[in-house]
Chain A
Amino acid sequence: MKKRVFACILAAAMLFCLAACGGGSTETTSPATDAPSTDTPASDSDVIKIGHIVHMTGSAVESGGYEKNGAELAVEEINAAGGVNGKQLVLVQEDGKSTNQGSVAAFQKLLEDDEIVAVIGPSPSTQFAAMIPTIDEAGIPVATGGTNYSLTHSDCPWVFRFRPHDGFSAQAMVRYAVDELGATKIAVLHGSDSFGVGGYDLVAQYLDELYGMEPILDQSFNNDEKDYTAVITNIKESGADCIISYMAMSPDVGMFATQRLQQGLDIPWIGSPSVTAVAGRELAGEALYGVYAVSDFHVDGNEKATAFAAAYEEKFGREPDFYSAWTYDAIYCFAEAFKNAADLEPESIREAILALEDFEGVEGTYNFDENGDGLDAYYIVVNNENNIEVVTKIEGNR
C-alpha cells in the first residue's frame, strides 16, 4: 500500500516536472525582469514609448539577448541624434519567458501602459502566433522577426515583419539546391514546432511549384534533442543527396552538425538562418564549415549593415546576427513612421509604415506590402572556416 502511494506521488511529481519542462523551457524567474524597465527618465510628454517583449529567461534567452541589444542600440543612436520630432524614444522591456503564455502575458502587460504606441514581439514564430489574437484585439502595430509564413497572413493588419518570411527562404533554398548543387533527392530536416513544420510545407510547395519534385524525406525532431543518431540513420537510409533544414535552436544546430560528420553523413546541407547564428558556430566549430545557409542579414550586405556591425561590436563585444539586425531595423522603421505620421494613433502609424518606400535598413531594403511583409530577398551564404560569406542573393516571388 505504502509503495503504491509512493509510486503515485512519484508519477505526479514527474508530471509536474514534465509540465514544467513543456515547451522546451523551465519556468524560471531571473533577476530584474518582473518590473518593466525604462531606459531614460523623462517627463511623459517628451517621450515616445515602444514596448519590447524580450525572452530574458527560458530556452530562447540567447536570441533574446541579441534582440534586446539590437533594439537598445537603435534607440540609443536615435536619441543621441535628437530623437523623433524632438521626443526621446523609450524602450519598455518585458520578459516573454520563452513560452507562449509568457509572451501573451508580457504583451498584455505592455498594453496596460497607454503611452506605448508600438511593440516589438519575440522572434520565435510559435510564440508570436500565440499573440496574434491579442494583437488583433488590441489594434496596435507590432513588429515580428518570426519567419513563419502565416504570421503576416492571418488577417491581422497590425503585424509587420522585419525579415523575409519562410516562403522566400524556402524558395531560395530550393532554387540553390536544385540549380546550383544539382540536388534531386532532398531530405527536409525540421523541428516539430510551427516554424519547422511550416518550413517543411513551404519547401515541399516550392519544390513542386518550381521543379515538380517532392522531398525524399520528411524528418522532424523535437527542439533540444541531444542524440541525432536516429535522424542521421534515417537520412542516410533515404539516399538523400542534399539536406534542407529548418532548425530553430542554435545548440541543436551545433549538435546535429557535429554528430552528422562523426557518423559519416557528408552530403550538402542548406539551412535556415540559425545555421549561421554565432552561438551554433561557437559550439560546432569545424563541423559547420562548408555548410550553406539562407540569411537575411549579412555584415557585408550593405553599408548600413557594416556600420551597424561595427557599432554593435564596439558596444557589446560580439558580432551581431540577424536577431539583433531586425530589432535594430524595426526601431528605425518605427521611428521613421512616427516622424511621418500625422499623429501617434495606431492607424496613423500603420499607414506611415505601409507608406515607407525603399527604406534602407541593415537587413535590406524595406517595402511593406499590405500583409505587413517588409523584405523579400535572402542571401545564400556559406561558412568558410567560420567566416560567413555571401555566395549569391536570391529575390523571392511575392
Chain B
Amino acid sequence: MSGLAILGQNVFSGIAIGGVYALLALGIALIYRSTNVTNFAQGDITMLGAYALYILLEQLGLPYPIAFLLAIVVMGIFGWLFQRFVYYPLRNRSFLPVIIATIGAGILFQNVALVVFGSIPRKVNPVFASGGFTVGGVYFDLQYIVILVVTAALFVFQYLFFEHTSLGKKMQATAQDKTMAQLLGIPVALMIAFTFIYSTILGAIGGMLVAPIYFVTNRMGSTLGLKAFAACICGGFGDVRGALIGGIAIGLIEALGAAYIAPVYKDAFPFLLLLVFLLVRPQGIFGEKVSEKA
C-alpha cells in the first residue's frame, strides 16, 4: 500500500467521521445560540436516533427511506419533549441548572437504553448493501460517502433555511435577542422549541449515519458527544461554520494521529487540540460574532 493511499484512506475516513461530529456540533451550537445552554445530552440523543433506526429498520423491517424518515419524525417529537421537560421548566434560571439537567438527561437516556435494549450491540445494515469501491488503493466505503453527502446537504439546507426563509430569520432573531424578538411579535417559546427539535434531528441523523459503522450500544453517544463539544469549542462556540470546520478538524486529527502516531492515543488527539485552543484561542476559529452585542 503506497504512502499516498494510506494518507488518502485516513483522510477519507477522518473527514467522514468528522462530518458526523460536525452534525452533532451544529445541533449543540444552535441550541447554545438560542438559549445560551450547552446541551450535554446531544451525544446520547445520537444514540437514541440510532436505536430508533434500528427498531424501524431491523426489527419492523421497513424499507430504508421510510425507516429513516419515520425515525426523523419520532426524534423530532422527542426533541420537543426534551425541551419541554428538560429545558422549559428551567428556562428562567441561569445556564448552570439547565446544563446539569442535560447531563442528567443524558445519563438517564443511557440507562433507559441499557434496560430496554440490553448491552449487546445491535447491528444496523448500511444504506447500500454493496459496501464500497476502491480507487487508487483507497477504499471508499459507501456508508462513509452517504455520511459525507448527507452532512453536506444538511449544511447547505442549514444555510438556505436560516439565511433565506422568514422562519429561519425569526429563529436567528430569537437566538440573538429574545426580548427584542418578543417585541417584534416573534413567538419565542415556539422558536426555541423548533431549535430543539431541529438540533435533536441533527443529532439523531448523525446517529443513524454511524449506526452501521459503530453498531448501536447505549454508550455509543458519550464519546461522539464529547468530540462534538470539542469541535464546537475549536470552531468557535455557537458558530455554524465553526461547527463544520471544527468537526472535520477533529475527525482528521484523530484519524491522522492514529495512523501516523498510534491508534492507542486516538481519543487523546481531539482533546489535545481542544486544550491548545482553550489556551491559545479560547474563542475558537471563528470567534463569537453574537458576543459583540452590547
Interface residues of A (CB under 8 A from B): 3-4, 6-7, 9-11, 13-14, 17-18, 20-21, 25-26, 28-31, 57, 59, 61-62, 192, 219-222, 224-227, 229-231, 233-234, 236-237, 250-251, 254-255, 262-264, 279, 282-283, 285
Contacts and interface: CB of A to CB of B under 8 A. Distances in A.
B272 to A, nearest CB: 13
25 contacts: A3-B291, A9-B96, A14-B226, A14-B271, A17-B40, A17-B222, A21-B222, A26-B222, A29-B111, A219-B263, A224-B219, A226-B210, A227-B213, A229-B10, A229-B13, A230-B10, A230-B266, A231-B258, A236-B6, A262-B132, A279-B121, A282-B120, A282-B123, A283-B121, A285-B123
A266 B258 CA distance: 21
B interface, over-half SS: helix
Contacts of B219: 21, 25-26, 59, 224
A369 B6 CA distance: 49
A46 to B, nearest CB: 35
Given A10-B38, A227-B17, A262 B120 contact: no
The 7 closest A-B pairs by CB, nearest first: A230-B258, A61-B119, A230-B259, A229-B13, A236-B1, A263-B139, A221-B263
B263 A283 contact: no
Given A7-B282, A229-B13, A254 B258 contact: no
B153 interface: no
Contacts of B107: 26, 28
A226 B213 contact: yes
Contact of B264 (A28, A192, A224, A285): A192
Contacts of A229: 9-10, 13, 255, 258-259
B151 interface: no
Contacts of B267: 222
A7 B120 contact: no
A227 B252 CA distance: 12
A234 B255 contact: no
A230 B213 contact: no
Contacts of B123: 254, 282-283, 285
B116 interface: no
Interface in B244-294: 255, 258-259, 262-264, 266-267, 271, 274, 278, 282-283, 288, 291
Nearest to A20: B222
Nearest to A249: B121
A230 B115 contact: no
B278 A254 contact: no
Nearest to A284: B123
A59 B120 CA distance: 10
Given A30-B114, A192-B264, A262 B131 contact: yes
Nearest to A56: B119
Nearest to A60: B119
Chain B interface residue count: which class?
35 or more
Interface string B109-142: 0110011001111010000000110100001010
B6 A233 contact: yes
A331 B220 CA distance: 35
Given A10-B233, A262-B141, A227 B255 contact: yes
B223 interface: yes
Contacts of A7: 233, 278, 282
Contact of A13 (B99, B111, B139): B99
B214 interface: yes
Nearest to A64: B119
Nearest to A239: B1
Contacts of B291: 3
B217 interface: yes
B229 interface: yes
B215 interface: yes
Given A31-B115, A251-B121, A233 B10 contact: yes
A14 B291 CA distance: 23
Contacts of B134: 264
Contacts of A18: 226, 271
Interface string B157-191: 00000000000000000000000000000000000
B202 to A, nearest CB: 20
A279 B222 contact: no
A262 B139 contact: yes
A283 B233 contact: no
B86 interface: no
A28 B255 contact: no
Contacts of A6: 95
A225 B266 contact: yes
Nearest to A232: B9
A251 B291 CA distance: 44
B103 interface: yes
